[in-house]
Amino acid sequence: MNRILAIATLLIVFCIGFAWGVPPTPVPGPYSPIGNDLTGFAFRNAANDRLSGNVSAQPKIYGCVPNTCAIVATDGSIVSDPGHRACPTATATPSVIPTPTGAYSPMLDDTIANFYTEANQWLKGVHKVEPRIIGIRPGDCVQFDATCHPTDAGGPCAIGSTPLALIPTPVPGYTGFGLSSGTVLHSNVDARLGGSVAVPLTFEGLTPGHAVMGGSNGQLADAGGPPALVITPTPTATATPAVVNLGPGATLPSDSTCATTADAYGLAETTPTNVDDGSPAHWDSNNQIFTTPSYFYAHAGEQIGYANADFSRVDGNYSGTTPDIIIWAACKNGMDKDWARAETAEESGHWYQACAAMHGGTGCLEVGDFNHFDGTCTSLAPSLSAFGYPVTDSGGNYVFAQSFGYGTWPTWGIFQSKSGCAEYYTQPMLAMSTAWGEDYRDAKFRSCMNGDVTRTGFTSDYTNAVSRATSNPSGLASASHFTGPTGYFTDETNLQYLALGCIGTHYSGGWYDGAAQIYIHDFMAILNARSWPH
């Protein structure tokens, strides 16, 4: 076992690099060449095969920035160029990559008592025992690939004269796994070989700041100077614009301003079915720019007690990823982006918008509240239809979704708006477009924040909340001022009290009634935990 510990640890020594910047997540690979069932000579021989470059099990360098030029840090480890640039290369003169030879296991006979002191000396480059790197031509520049393996950049390094800022020497602490054995030892070996532990591998004969090139026998060598590029500090990321709750009557940003804001976040897609619902049409709910039919603007707000004028800006005129769409609509309507994320998660979990059944497929992820219609489904505006979908018949009856078998589901879209009967004028846009659904719900939030809701169930406490949020938005929401609970936030403000009430009414239709408070409680749990799709 003493030899097993020695070779396993030595293997670690040669396969780890120091982290400069934020380490990428290493891609899984076959980095444990020995297995838990190899012992004694079998273990030693397998380790030596890798250390001498005879087997293609390349190390990953912890903390590299993928696809950047490798340079030398002040401690002799190799790291990414501080400017995060690819290697500048001169005209390549291909040469034969030599077959590595030689022995690379210097501690086969060391005792446990000496082993850890020796291991740290190798890790720190005190003793010259360098690993061989497969696949780099002698003289060619070394660059990290997308998974942080050292690789050939395609030609000799183009050397410049610009001095590089030296990277600080890492804090010592190199072995990290003590006297672990068996499964624990192998797990630690895997972690270091996979580049997921910050244990730097140092090389001798390299000048800090210089580029790295392939040596004559598979080792790495000094390229003779820094890469021929202007090295500047990594720029500080531009702060993304704030998207927060705006008070009553606030001037709202334009569609285009909020498109720029959402684009600045540039978040990855979280809900692939919104981009392709799996139907024969491969419907992309996140990329639906259309002209909203005039009947929406004529009837918006009726039956639910919201001011019609507050919906004049609803158009869903943005395409992007689901997270960016949520930010765009929140920005446009003066709603905090995290509040919009949290409420969308409360309504549709994984932010689902897709309904494949609408487009010739099967299934519908966005429907809800089975057969529980809000209000009457008769005497609606007759003969409404858009984009090939009937909404009401000639008698003013709600008929949306009957043609594809989902006519008994009243709530639709990523925000689960109650479009069965009461908000019939939102269809089919609500079912077709992620951006339109977010825009519509956030417009209701804004109408509520502006004090424009007159529906039954909104008490004088609502008008009082609007007044206080207008005159003193940062003032504390005292229980003596309001009838609803004021403790959802520490030192809850008048603006927060109003905004939470405008969240709760989306579910209950009332103002801080029992159902609204349950909804707000669940909303706050999601908001505080940030438990929405990432």
For 468-488, the pLDDT digits (tens) are 999 999 999 998 899 999 999
pLDDT band at 74 (very low <50, low <70, confident <90, very high): low
**Can you read off the two tokens belonging to residue 172?**
């010592």
- Measured in residues, the chain has a length of 534
Least confident stretch, 65-79, 172-186, 503-517: 172-186
pLDDT at 262: 95
Identify the residue with better confidence: 497 or 224: 497
CA distance 154 to 15: 23
pLDDT at 19: 29
Least confident stretch, 79-93, 305-319, 347-361, 492-506: 79-93
Q: Which residue in 344, 432, 447 sits closest to 389, CA to CA?
A: 432
494-508 vs 514-529: helix crossing angle, rounded to 10: 110
Q: Which residue in 377, 205, 202, 353 sits closest to 288, CA to CA?
A: 353
Q: Which residue in 261, 311, 244 sits closest to 452, CA to CA?
A: 311
Q: SS3 sequence, 355-383?
A: CHHHHCCCCCCCCECCCCCECCCCCCCCC
Instruction: Write out pLDDT tens, residues 100-109.
Output: 444 344 444 3
pLDDT at 221: 72
* Mean pLDDT value across residues 299-313: 95
pLDDT at 165: 52
Instruction: Write out pLDDT tens, residues 411-462.
Output: 999 999 988 888 999 999 999 999 999 999 999 999 999 999 998 889 899 9
Question: Can you tell me which residue has the tokens 């026998």?
Answer: 217
- Residue 124 predicted with pLDDT over 50: no
* Mean pLDDT value across residues 293-314: 96
Are 392 and 314 a contacting pair, CB within 8 Å? Answer: no
Identify the residue with better confidence: 247 or 123: 247
pLDDT at 147: 66
**Can you read off the two tokens belonging to residue 16?**
């780890």
Find the helix or strand (DSSP H, E) in which 385 lies: strand 385-386
Q: Which residue in 159, 82, 174 sits closest to 123, CA to CA?
A: 174
191: number of Cβ within 10 Å: 20
- Residue 142 predicted with pLDDT over 60: yes
Find the helix or strand (DSSP H, E) in which 142 lies: strand 140-144
pLDDT band at 194 (very low <50, low <70, confident <90, very high): very low
pLDDT at 63: 63
pLDDT at 170: 39
Are 519 and 504 a contacting pair, CB within 8 Å? Answer: yes
CA distance 395 to 401: 17
**Can you read off the two tokens belonging to residue 420?**
């069965």
177 to 12, 88, 116, 197: CA distances (angstroms): 11, 38, 10, 11
Instruction: Write out pLDDT tens, residues 16-68.
Output: 232 223 333 333 333 333 333 344 444 444 444 444 444 444 566 666 777 87
Burial class (CB within 10 angstroms; exposed 0-12, middle 13-18, buried 19+) of 394: exposed
Instruction: Write out pLDDT tens, residues 243-299.
Output: 999 999 999 999 999 999 999 999 999 999 999 999 999 999 999 999 999 999 999
Q: Which residue in 233, 189, 429 sits closest to 314, CA to CA?
A: 429
Q: Is the bond preceding 428 in cis, omega lying within 30 degrees of 0?
A: yes
Residue 47, helix vs strand vs coil: helix
Are 465 and 341 a contacting pair, CB within 8 Å? Answer: no
CA distance 406 to 355: 10
